[in-house]
Amino acid sequence: MSALQLFIVQRLTALIMAPLVLAHLAVMAYAIHGGLSVAEILGRTQGSWLWFGFYGLFVVAASSHAAIGLRAVLTEWVGFRGRLGGRLRDLGCAVFGLALFGLGARAVWAVTLANTATAGVGL
């Protein structure tokens, strides 16, 4: 991706994450202060396309945002530049982003659609 494309993705994901982070914090506060049990939480999230969409979008945005940010840190602070350094850096950041995405996607899948996908229950 070009410097411009990375910049656009970085800004768009920031824009997406800003409200999602606030909503996530509000949900956490609600879940903990309301004293919801694990079963109660799962009861609300499982089978919900809404929560799947919410946290799915979050995971996509966070993993790409973090990978692009890490790329800048490696460029400026570790000196990964030039042909070889740049390649290594980009490969490393792509792997890092994909790993974050994998971990996040697995968690989102587990708390939302995992058991219902096979049962075919929606919303």
Partner 1 sequence: MERQVPGKEFLSVTVQRGQPGEAVRMQTFQVPAQDNQSVLDVVSWIQQNANPSLTYRFACRVGMCGSCAMMVNDVPRWTCRTHVSKVAKAGVIAIAPLRNLPLIKDLVADLDPFFDKWTDAEAHHHPTRDRDQPIAAVDPDSRERRQANAGIECINCAVCYAACDTVAGNPDFLGPAALQRAWTLYNDTKNADKNAVLDAVTGQGGCHTCHSLGSCTNLCPNELDPTAAIAGLKRASARRFFGRD
Binding site for partner 1 (CB under 8 A): 2-8, 11, 72, 75-77, 81
**If DSSP codes are grouped into helix, strand and coil, which group holds residue 63?**
helix
Least distance CB 15 / partner 1 (angstroms)? 12
Would you put residue 35 in left (φ > 0), alpha (ψ -120 to 50) or beta? Answer: left
State the first-to-last Cα distance of the chain, in angstroms, to the nearest integer. Answer: 36
Least distance CB 76 / partner 1 (angstroms)? 3
Nearer to partner 1, 6 or 70 (CB): 6
CA angle (113, 115, 119) in 5-degree steps:
100
Nearer to partner 1, 8 or 21 (CB): 8
Least distance CB 5 / partner 1 (angstroms)? 8
